[in-house]
Amino acid sequence: MFPGKRQVDSAVGLDGDGLAWVSRATLIALKNSGNRLPLKAAKIRSQQGGSYLSRFRGRGMEFDEARPYQPGDEIRHLDWRVTARTGRAHTKLFREERERAVILWVDYRAPMFFATRGSFKSVLASQAAAMIAWGACNQGDRLGALIFSEQKHQELRPANGDRAVLNLIGRLAESSSLPPRASAPEKRREALLHALARVRRVTRPGALLFLLSDFRDLDKSAEIHLSALARHNELVLLRIHDRLEAELPTSGQYPVSDGYQRLSLQGADRKLHQRYSQQNLDRQDYLGQLCQRYRMHLLHCSTDCDLGETLAQGLGRRVR
């Protein structure tokens, strides 16, 4: 059994740690789970041709050193000066592909602080980010992040080692523990677009980029940023959702609010059920079509899922 959600559940505290918020200690404890995630490099799709990303030395942008020629090396990358000096063929090595950057883009907007079962979406995002971070560290990849809400965003430049993971974990725990502020839909959309624009600016080609969100307010403007990122990077979208967002209960009356408006939903209203379910399907279809169009990987995670299994199976499919 993959030690994912059940391990997380066993660490849930009476004070809500692991349900409504998540502590630094709980995220640190996910190290073993993260180390088992299949994060090895996969082929990326680029307008400039396919490139196989690896944490080992390969062809990239920044010259590193030369080594003796090996069968399979491209002739155009021979280092003729070293070859002439030593009398033995040498190939140029570049730094770009030796240390891949893994970038985590984590959404802490107000709708992420919600669940009717399991853990808040914000908690699942924090736990998933921590697992991926530990896995990246275990493989020797550089780890960077962009964490955002309606009020602020934080950026962590790519760095190696446990220190980079622990720095990120501190930010994740803090963000999951801050009480969300009600925000208008336009404010949420602006925060999403700003975070996408920013990660597009700071991400260098060849990165493995994870986007952890419920992907509310995704629109054509967001699509422009995603398509640009997908041209030169490998993107994995983890859609975190609650089952109530897909289908209303069949009976009862339920007050709901987004912080600005309050409504009362009638569970027995068949037409309301149909409209509500169709809106959710439309959002899912749009996201799925985007991922197919730009060759991005899409994983779905409900708030009561086995997180470790979901990540392991989904990430395993991308490298087959």
Give residue-wise pLDDT tens across range 250-300. 776 767 665 566 767 666 677 877 887 888 788 889 999 999 999 999 999
Instruction: Flag whether pLDDT at 226 surpasses 90.
Output: yes
Buried b (16+ CB within 10 A) or exposed e, 255-275: eeeeeeeeeeeeeeeeeebee
Give residue-wise pLDDT tens across range 308-317. 999 999 999 8
Assigned superfamily of 5-43+100-318: von Willebrand factor, type A domain (3.40.50.410)
Instruction: Flag whether pLDDT at 222 surpasses 60.
Output: yes
pTM: 0.79
C-beta of residue 157 within 8 angstroms of C-beta of residue 101: no
C-beta of residue 143 within 8 angstroms of C-beta of residue 38: no
What average pLDDT does range 61-67 have in this prediction?
69
Q: How far apart (Å, rounded) are the C-alpha atoms in residues 296 and 44? A: 9
Quote the mean pLDDT of the chain.
84
Residue ranges per domain, the chain?
5-43+100-318, 56-94
What pLDDT does 5 receive? 43
More confident residue, 53 or 204: 204
Tokens 């070293």 sit on residue: 82
Give residue-wise pLDDT tens across range 103-155. 999 999 999 999 989 999 999 999 999 999 999 999 999 999 999 999 999 99
Give residue-wise pLDDT tens across range 7-19. 444 445 546 899 9
Q: How far apart (Å, rounded) are the C-alpha atoms in residues 241 and 31? A: 24
304 DSSP 8-state letter: T
**Of 54-58, 85-89, 117-121, 179-183, minimum mean pLDDT range:** 54-58
**Exposed / middle / buried, residue 304 (Cβ in 10 Å: 0-12, 13-18, 19+):** middle
Identify the H or E element spanning 3.
Answer: none
Residue 147: C-alpha distances to residues 27, 186, 214 (Å): 16, 19, 14
Residue 195: C-alpha distances to residues 108, 174, 190, 305 (Å): 11, 18, 9, 27
What pLDDT does 65 receive? 77
What would the two tokens of residue 45 be? Answer: 């799709």
What pLDDT does 64 receive? 66
Q: How far apart (Å, rounded) are the C-alpha atoms in residues 232 and 48? A: 8
Give residue-wise pLDDT tens across range 143-171. 999 999 999 999 999 999 999 999 999 99
What pLDDT does 130 receive? 99
Closest-CA residue to 241 (of 122, 103, 105): 122
274 DSSP 8-state letter: H
Tokens 């959702």 sit on residue: 241
Instruction: Flag whether pLDDT at 172 surpasses 90.
Output: yes
State residue 167 phi and psi, 5-degree precision: -60, -45
Instruction: Flag whether pLDDT at 200 surpasses 90.
Output: yes
What pLDDT does 257 receive? 61
Residue 54: C-alpha distances to residues 39, 58, 115, 139, 248 (Å): 11, 8, 38, 10, 45
203 DSSP 8-state letter: P
